[in-house]
Each structure stands twice: as structure tokens, then as C-alpha cells.
Amino acid sequence: MPAASSRFTLPIPAGRPLVMGVLNVTPDSFSDGGRFLASGAAIAHATEMAANGADILDIGAESTRPYGGAKPVSADEEIARLAPVLPEIVEIGPPVSIDTMKARVASFALERGVVIVNDVWGLQRDEDMARVVADHGATVVIMHNRERADPTIDIMADIEDFFSRSLDIAGAAGIPPSHIFLDPGIGFGKVPAQSLTALARLDELKRFGKPLLVGASRKRFIDNLSPAPADKRVGGSIAAHLAAAAAGAAIVRVHDVAETVQAFRVATAINEARCPPI
């Protein structure tokens, strides 16, 4: 059994969620594919996000774009993309998360200082993923997903059923309850209206007793409301994440770190001015 790594223990600040900065070392991610595939560009971007206030860095080497068109890659290819950059990114400072659905990739990253596994299939795609997370003492983000969107279903019931199955898998593998975050998977297996529903009813997921992560950054539901290319959806992304924070989200996963951190600083200052400490 591999030696257990230090799990994610960064405290969640009062008044705002943690900001997780997205780093895609892929050619085909939906909003920034190809921009950070080169090692130097990836490390520079991670360093910039940390300087701009990212509390966590989330690195992915396979596109999991929720609207189709991504080319699946092997675990070997993911590892080849990660190997040149991961050691330096871990050294930058903030805790590092690996965005992967493959247990072998997760194990590779955890053995090199990563402390969070961000699984877009919530431990339900790779049957070895839960064991790898448990063996390394890692934190896991369990995200809701579906093979295809179905506008006729009750999306909140589907999310809750999915989380219940994933939590059973986590428990059977020995992942401590305190090592689990839940993510409703905005944009994944959902039509835009269902993504809005998941955001609007986020507080219903508190019944699971787990911290919530929300990744609404640049997603299609924003374009559906206010048409814009992915890299021009910053305003909509911030609006969604402010609403998620108000509903109790503990982490927001974003592409635009500086703008998001600024928004939360202003919102926090306004709230503190409204209710000054006694």
C-alpha cells in the first residue's frame, strides 16, 4: 500500500468560499484548450493563479468538456502530459488537485504531492478509484454526471441518487467522510435549465452533510442566458459563483481567478460593513 499523503486541510475562510483555479494541460478543453499544453505556459499560468489568490490549483490532462467533442486519451497520455509540470506546480504552494477519472492517473499524481482527486464521474467510472483515494489518504471531489442530458427528469433527484451511490462506494473503500466534497456537476449531463435548477436549489444538497464545490465557470447555461463565447462569460461565471457562495458552497472552481477573488473580496467587505463585528 502506498504511503498516505497529507490530505487537504486548508481551512475554509469565513465569509467566502475557497477559489480553485483551473489549469488544463490539454489541446481540446472547451474554453482554453491548447493554451497551456506547453510546460512553460502551464507552470507560468499556475504561478499567476496562485499570485492572484487561488487557494487550490486543479490540473487536468484530459478534456472532460461537458458538451461533447473531446477526444478520450489513455492513462499513459495523461501521465505524459502531467509528468513535466506536476512537480513544479506542487512546489508553487497552494494544495493541488488532479482532475481525472482514471485511478492510475490519480495514483501517479498523489504519489507526487497532489492531495485532492477531482473525479467527474464520482467514483463510478473507474472501479479502482475509491481504493486509490483511500490508500493515499486523499480528499475526493465526487461530481454528479450523466452519459447524456435528459430534460424530462427531476435533476435534483438524479443528483441525490448519484451522490448516495457514490457515498456508498466511498464508505466501502474506507474513505473517511471528512475527506469528501460533493459537486453537482454544472453543465455535465444537464441541459442549461437543469444547471440553473442545480444552482438555485444547491442548499438542498446540504442534507448529505458534505462541503459543496461548484464549478459554473464559463459554462453553456451562461451563453444560453446571455450569448457570448466561453472566454467572455466572466460576468456570468462570477454571478453564478456569488449565488453558490450565498447558498453555502465551500469551493468554487474557476478559470478567471483574479476577477473571482476580487468579487468575493468586495462582497465580503460589503457584508462585513452591513454587520460589523461586535
Q: Is 7 exposed, middle or buried (0-12, 13-18, 19+ CB in 10 A)?
A: middle
For the chain, counts of helices (H) and of strands (E): 10, 8
CA-CA distance, 259 to 164, in Å (whole number)? Answer: 35
Backbone angles phi, psi at 144, to 5 degrees: -75, 140
State how far the Cα of 80 lies from the Cα of 231, in Å rounded to an integer: 27
C-alpha cell at position 224: 444560453
Q: Could you give the CA distance from residue 278 to residue 272 in angstroms, rounded to a whole number?
A: 11
Which residues are tagged catalytic? 219, 253
Give backbone dihedrals phi and psi of 209, rounded to 5 degrees, phi first.
Answer: 70, 25
DSSP secondary structure code for residue 143 in this structure: E
Rounded distance between C-alpha atoms, residue 278 and residue 273, angstroms: 12
| DSSP states along 243-275 | HHHHTT-SEEEES-HHHHHHHHHHHHHHHHHHS
